[in-house]
Amino acid sequence: MTKLKDKKINTRSAKMIDNTDREGETLGSVGPFVKVTWNDAASTFKAYRINAENPSEHLTICETVGEMVAKDDKAIVIVMHGSQCDGCDIMAIPTDWAQKIEVLEVVGECITENSESPQE
C-alpha cells in the first residue's frame, strides 16, 4: 500500500495553514486513490426471515471511492469531494469494517480499478 504523506488536506488553497501549523495540500496530493469495500450496519423493518446460519447476510455492503488521506488501526479516512468554498467531503470507515482496499491505477487521464476495465 502506498505510504500516506504527513500532511493535512486543505482544499481552499495550496498555501493555507491549518490548526496543526502544517502546510495544507490540495486534493490528490496526500494519498492514493482507492476503492474501499466495507460492511455497514443495516436496519431492516418488517423482516420475515433472519439467517441465523449466516448473520453477515444482513449487513450492507458499501463501496467508497476517493483519496485515502489517513489510516490507522481504528479508521480509514477517504476524501470523496473537495471544494475551495466548502472544504471537503469525507467518509470515515472503521478499519475493521473494511473488507478490501484496492489502490486505483491512473490510465491515461482516467483512474481505473484495473487495466482490464472497459474505458468509456
Read off the pLDDT of residues 18-76 as tens digits, 9 standing for 90 and up.
444 444 556 677 888 999 999 999 998 998 999 999 999 999 999 999 999 999 999 99
Angle, CA of 101, 61 and 4, to the nearest 5°? 20
Q: How far is CA 29 from CA 4, 22, 40, 70, 107, in A?
A: 9, 14, 28, 12, 17
pLDDT of residue 6: 60
pLDDT of residue 16: 41
Rounded to a whole number of angstroms, the distance between the first and last alpha carbons of the chain is: 27
pLDDT(115) > 70:
no
- Cα(88)–Cα(91) distance, integer angstroms: 10
Instruction: Name the pLDDT band for 2 (thresholds 50, 70, 90).
Output: low
Q: Would you list the domain boundaries of the chain?
A: 27-112
pLDDT of residue 18: 47
- Cα(65)–Cα(97) distance, integer angstroms: 15
